């Protein structure tokens, strides 16, 4: 028999279980939506204690429900039924940071910097309203399929102004991520959450927390007694991690300074090999043409880096976003066969913000092979076959053109004589499958327009089409860049095995008619491998 909570929420299946209860996927029959419900279970306590804990949980869930922030889990409702609380939350399709690190190993500096920035932003918003989280750890950081970072499980949060119940609640939290003052019995404070954030960042970039030991007691002793070992992989993150892990909370790195350091680490070309499918900061990408890709998932809500000017926080189209599938990747390059020739490399930038030092790029050359597959079109006269083992595609390229692998982006740009235009092929392998490329483009366009990120943007069309026997969509538009109107067509599609590609062509608007033949030949000869 199906179970309903509060005669409204129909439980579908358990999503996870922990020491504090079960999280269910459920259906809200009143509002016709799928939600997540946390069934809070307190075992091994008497009736009086259970009532106290239930009251605390309900109060603190309501406190978390007051927060309105894109990186804080949305709490829809709090219900008490069968003698225990049920917390109704937004269902975030995601995996936890702990799961990702466990499955794929330590993340890159750039990925961790972005994750840390968003969690810190959420904490600062919570602290500003008097809410402490008190259990920041990788298990409570959700990496959502839509590109967001969401801090969840405010179930042990405490309103500083309403500390009556929580003050008697005993020690709660995970020792490896708990600050020394909490283990010493002192009350939590905003700096306590910052310490836990530092331990979480350490675990994300190093693969394990700074004070993990063989037992609970040994872990507690290490937090109270030992200094954290300097992280070996942290790079630009080391100052912020070690600053947050200072034992004395009064000496801990202030949140505003931590935000600045995380921003710098996230946007530094030398420390951010961005995962595939992400929006990269256009600052520092002057050597390659940049454009929206089908795998992009834009973050909704206010600017990530609070305390910084908005003009700095918004980094070109879509802002700085992390991959929708959070893979752990390093910069990779295709082999350059001996005897190959290359042409000019200069390509335009679509950056609408000031650029920093250009990112390094790797020059690629055409692999001297035949056409990629038997179904591919013959290579036209004056063109040559190019094959990317990394991107798993083949395409014809004009003679004299140079292929450049982006240093931090899973894309290759093609540029050469005969036109001011540039062609980009971008690829990624997501953990979830979107089904309608036209809707994907329309959604991205809406967000770009809302943020006024393309000067003089004019949509020519988003047209569903069929490409290589698959559903596809062409997004064609013009916009102003550096005083010149450019014309773009971006074809998005997905292969039968789920790999998305974006074929992006841009040139000046004045050259559009004469140069469109380049895009048509690229598209005609492109084949996934």
Q: CB neighbours (10 Å) of residue 237?
A: 26
- Residues designated as active site: 135
CA dist 286 and 262 (Å) reads 22
Strands (E), 92-239: 94-96, 131-132, 141-144, 149-151, 158-159
Dihedral over Cα of 286, 288, 292, 296: its sign: negative
Please count the CA atoms within 13 angstroms of the CA of 41 that sit on its side-chain side.
Answer: 9
Per-residue DSSP letter, 107: P
Terminal CA-CA length for the chain: 49
In degrees, to the nearest 5, what angle opens at C-alpha 195 toward C-alphas 178 and 112?
A: 110
CB 334 within 8 A of CB 394: no
CA dist 239 and 236 (Å) reads 7
CA dist 494 and 203 (Å) reads 34
**Residue 476 pairs with which residues in a beta bridge?**
461, 489
DSSP string, 264-284: HHHH-GGG--PPTTPPPPSTT
CA dist 54 and 42 (Å) reads 8
CA dist 155 and 219 (Å) reads 23
Report the Cα 226 to chain-centroid distance in Å: 33
CA dist 131 and 159 (Å) reads 5
The residue to which tokens 């912020």 are assigned: 240
DSSP string, 443-511: HHHHHHHHTT-STT-EEEEEEEEEETTEEEEEEEEEEEETTEEEEEEEEEEE-TTS-EEEEEEEEEGGG
CB 455 within 8 A of CB 480: yes
Please count the CA atoms within 13 angstroms of the CA of 386 that sit on its side-chain side.
Answer: 30
């Amino acid at each position: 028999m199906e179970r309903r909570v509060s005669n409204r929420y129909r439980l579908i299946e358990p999503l996870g279980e922990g020491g504090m209860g079960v999280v269910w996927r459920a259906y809200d029959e009143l509002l016709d939506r799928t939600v997540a419900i946390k069934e809070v279970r307190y075992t091994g306590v008497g009736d009086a204690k259970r009532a106290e804990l239930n009251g605390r949980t309900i109060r603190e869930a309501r406190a978390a429900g007051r927060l309105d922030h894109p990186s804080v889990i949305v709490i829809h409702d709090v219900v008490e039924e069968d003698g225990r609380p049920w917390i109704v939350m937004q269902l975030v399709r995601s995996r936890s940071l702990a799961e990702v690190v466990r499955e794929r190993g330590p993340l890159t500096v750039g990925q961790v910097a972005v994750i840390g920035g968003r969690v810190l932003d959420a904490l600062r918003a919570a602290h500003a309203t008097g809410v402490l989280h008190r259990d920041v750890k990788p298990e409570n950081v959700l990496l959502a399929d839509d590109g967001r970072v969401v801090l969840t499980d405010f179930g042990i949060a405490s309103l500083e102004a309403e500390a009556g119940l929580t003050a008697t609640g005993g020690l709660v939290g995970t020792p490896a991520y708990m600050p020394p003052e909490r283990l010493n019995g002192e009350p939590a404070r905003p700096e306590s959450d910052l310490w836990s954030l530092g331990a979480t960042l350490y675990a994300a970039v190093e693969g394990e927390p700074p004070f993990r030991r063989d037992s609970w007691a040994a872990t507690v002793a290490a937090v109270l007694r030992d200094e954290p070992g300097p992280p070996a992989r942290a790079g630009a993150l080391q100052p912020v991690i070690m600053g947050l892990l200072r034992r004395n909370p009064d000496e801990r790195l202030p949140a505003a300074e931590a935000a600045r350091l995380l921003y710098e680490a996230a946007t530094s070309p030398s420390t951010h090999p961005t995962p595939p499918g992400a929006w990269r900061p256009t600052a520092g990408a002057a050597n390659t043409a940049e454009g929206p890709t089908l795998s992009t998932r834009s973050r909704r809500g206010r600017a990530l880096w609070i305390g910084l000017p908005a003009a700095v926080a918004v980094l070109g189209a879509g802002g700085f976003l992390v991959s929708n599938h959070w893979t752990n990747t390093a910069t990779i390059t295709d082999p350059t066969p001996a005897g190959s020739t290359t042409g000019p490399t200069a390509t335009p930038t679509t950056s609408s913000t000031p650029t920093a030092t250009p990112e390094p790029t790797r020059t690629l050359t055409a692999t001297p092979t035949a056409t990629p597959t038997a179904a591919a079109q013959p290579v036209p006269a004056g063109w040559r076959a190019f094959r990317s083992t990394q991107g798993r595609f083949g395409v014809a390229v004009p003679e004299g053109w140079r292929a450049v692998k982006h240093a931090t982006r899973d894309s290759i740009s093609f540029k050469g004589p005969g036109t001011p235009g540039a062609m980009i092929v971008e690829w990624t392998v997501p953990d979830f499958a979107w089904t309608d490329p036209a809707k994907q483009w329309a959604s991205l366009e809406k967000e770009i327009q809302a943020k006024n990120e393309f000067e003089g943007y004019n949509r020519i069309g988003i047209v569903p089409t069929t490409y290589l026997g698959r559903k596809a969509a062409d997004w064609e538009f013009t916009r102003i860049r550096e005083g010149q109107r450019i014309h773009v067509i971006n074809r998005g599609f997905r292969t039968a095995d789920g790999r998305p590609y974006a074929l992006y062509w841009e040139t000046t608007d004045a050259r559009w008619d004469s140069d469109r033949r380049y895009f048509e030949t690229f598209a005609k000869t492109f084949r996934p491998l």
